[in-house]
Amino acid sequence: MNLHRLTGLAAAASLMASAAWAAPMPGPIHQKYNWRHVTITAGGFIPGIEFSPCKPGLMYCRTDMGGLYRWSATKSRWIPLTDWVGQKDWTYLGGESIAPDPVDPHRVYAAVGMYTGPNMPDGAILRSNNEGRTWKITPMPFRMGGNNDGRSIGERLDIDPYDPSVLYFGSRLNGLWRSHDYGAHWSQVRSFPVNGAQPGGAGIGFVVFGGGGVPELNHPSNSIYVGVSQVGRGLYHSANGGKTWQRIAGQPEDLLPQHASLASNGELYVTFANGIGPNGVTGGAVWKYDTVNGTWTDITPVKPGVGGNSQFGYAGLSVDPRNPNLLVVSTLDRWNPGDDIFRSTNGGKTWSSMRQHATMDAAITPYLKWGNPEPSFGWWTGCVAMNPFNPNEVLYGTGATIWGTTEAQRAGTQKPIKFTVWAAGIEETAVICLLSPPQGAHLFSGLGDIGGFKHNNFNRSPQHGMCSNPIFNNTTGIDVAWKKPSILVRVGTGKQGQNGAISVDGGTKWKPFATQPPNTRGGGSVAITANGSAILWSSYGSPPWLSFNRGASWTACSGLPAGAEPVADRLDASVLYALDRRTGDVYISRNSGRSFTPVGSVSAQNDKLVASFASAGHLWAASRSGGLFHSTDYGRTFVRIRAVNSAISVACGHHAPGLVNPAIFIVGTVDGVDGVFRSDNEGKTWVRVSDKAHRYGNCGEALAADPRVYGRVYLGTNGRGIPFGEIAK
């Protein structure tokens, strides 16, 4: 283990200007950790589910910001396939498309990249010959949008069943692309008529091979269908292997295609909507195209806006490969009476609702009830998949989970169809904040979209979360009165204008603040003094406000800039701190928040300020640009921890055996190596506790260490839930 000495000056600004760097030292050693997840189960949008057409029990799913998964039939759970993605390649956790090989069950491909914005990195094609256990990467010369609008359109990536070395990919901004060597190299199909970004569209949404090849000779398909996700563009066809293309006549002109599937009898089924989704869709239809005689037939199950239905579209589509007349489709953005799956056994002449007699079993994810007696059928139903080896098994993705049934044949019989949550193993929440208190539950989470939870049992999705009284969409701040840990506070963006709450029983029951500060829009951060007497809430866009009566009334505190983030001293109940992240300035109050004065400064682009629970006045500050800083005098001076090049976040955990000072964890870079690190001696030496298989993309914005369990650290990710690590025994 290498020794890294603390170095610094009394004032951070002076330190930053004058500190001299010694010669680079060897990177930190690695300590073996066991990593697993705090179980929430799903919690985010599932835009794509794909069964293997050649191996029973094998299927894959893609998430919009949490990576890729493979279903394990033996374990009845999903296995994550992209946890190796690190900070530099974080956009690879955006699943733009996924395609299992139609001939070789071991091969699978994926297109990855999260956003198409101008400052985003380019995407990549991942290819695997062992069901995603390991991947080879082909960087692509354009951006992808796994978390952009239109992400449930697809699949953009497809493999020619007549020559599996040939793949096509429809990009959002750069036209149609083709590979002739199993995805290793790609070139643009210049003959395709749409080669750039289309206003209001999502580029090329799907590719479907239509046949005409000779598999014994590895002769690729002559017939290829391509869908352009823009009204007025739509479906194109090539009859000569992509040499020339024609727009198909007779298709709906006021809608854009979402999904397509070619049945074994040569009929092409297509779902349409008037927007790319998953929001803002107000029209849609289902049509089938006879590829032999070139005629279209409208087979829409229920017309949007008719018979009390709201306006909506159609998206998901799956056809039985052995029975061309058996298919299922999903609605999209049908908010009244709710999204549905429609099933037809006669090629779309008649349809049966699967929602009408559905029973929804959310036992493994109670939060899906949202305080209601039963969970809903779901929303944002952008994909549906029928098992090609058992058409009675149907799965569909929603904005929060995967539902599945093995009783699809009951549709139209008036018998109940049981749906269960089919998402075990998927952890897709975006974590905003984490808290590990000194007693009671070991962890509280603040999440995007689904509020957050009190985690009593890491192996089960919580029975009761913080998503009631009031319901929060996003929990942006949570804190505990360290010396009276039965008292907790949380803030976020709630419903009916209730954006803050307090608990006095360790987070089991919550009560909304009776009032909110003037002009408060919710969100922000919160701190509560060590004895629970004062709450300081810094809401978005407004100066911090103070309450001495548990939120019954609020008064402005003096001396703080708008947006300053409050932090409570864990032992001194009269002391509160605040950090201005724009400047790195630290403020202190010694009168429980009534007034603040500037006390010290760390650096610009500061991310986190944390108070140690071991000694009053001890602070740790994490900075992306400056590294890690430590103060032992209530923030007057900060010492820079020399070995730390960059720190996204910092947390204090239980001390090592025989020591007194808490273990310090960071997500950042130490001696040029990035990862998750622990120091047992206040930053003198470090060990890396993450490894190449457990990197979790863009992680560390939220971080907590357990004050009661030495070595345990909780990692907040942006789409991969809450991994936690413990020292391997």
Assign residue 414 a region (left: φ > 0; alpha: ψ between -120 and 50; beta: otherwise).
left
Asked if the peptide bond before residue 726 counts as cis, ω within 30 degrees of 0, the response is no
Task: Identify which of 361, 404, 328 has the alpha carbon closest to the alpha carbon of residue 61.
Answer: 404
On whether the CB atoms of residues 538 and 491 are closer than 8 A, the answer is no
Distance (Å, whole) CA 157 – CA 109? 8
Q: Beta strand 358-361 with 417-421: parallel, antiparallel or unpaired? A: parallel
- Nearest by Cα to 700 from 655, 662, 646, 653: 646
Q: Is the peptide bond before 337 cis (omega within 30 degrees of 0)?
A: yes
Tokens at 696, concatenated? 């979790």
Active site residue 572: no
- E strands, 73-154, in order: 77-80, 95-100, 108-112, 124-128, 136-139
Q: Which residue is catalytic, options 104, 361, 449, 691? A: 449
Q: Are the C-beta atoms of residues 352 and 374 closer than 8 Å to each other?
A: no
Q: Is 585 a catalytic residue?
A: no
Tell me the three state secondary structure of residue 93: helix
Which structure tokens are listed for 686? 């470090």
Q: Is 197 exposed, middle or buried (0-12, 13-18, 19+ CB in 10 A)?
A: middle
Instruction: Give the bridge partners for 588, in sequence order.
Output: 577, 597
From the candidates 64, 101, 572, 580, which is the catalytic residue?
64
DSSP state for residue 412 in the 8-state scheme? T
- C-alpha 572/C-alpha 611 separation (Å) is 11
Q: Give the distance between the most distant pair of CA atoms in the chain.
A: 83
Residue type, 707: P
Q: Which among 625, 643, 612 is positioned nearest to 583, based on CA atoms?
A: 625
Element housing 59 (H / E): strand 59-62
Round to whole Å and give the CA distance between 412 and 399: 26
**Angle value at C-alpha 336, between 333 and 341, nearest 5 degrees:** 60
According to DSSP, the residues that pair with 644 across neighbouring strands are 670
What are the Cα distances from residue 578, in Å, to 546, 608, 619? 13, 10, 11
Measured distance CA(278)–CA(275) in Å, rounded = 8
- Burial of residue 338 (CB within 10 Å: 0-12, 13-18, 19+) is middle
Distance, in Å, from the CA atom of 178 to the CA atom of 185, rounded to the nearest integer, reads: 8
Rounded distance between C-alpha atoms, residue 544 and residue 527, angstroms: 11
User: Measured between alpha carbons, how far is 12 from 18 in angstroms, rounded to an integer?
Assistant: 10
Report the alpha-carbon distance of residue 526 to residue 534 in Å, rounded: 11
Q: Given the DSSP bridges, would you call strands 48-51 and 33-37 parallel, antiparallel or unpaired?
A: unpaired
Q: Which residues carry out catalysis?
A: 64, 449
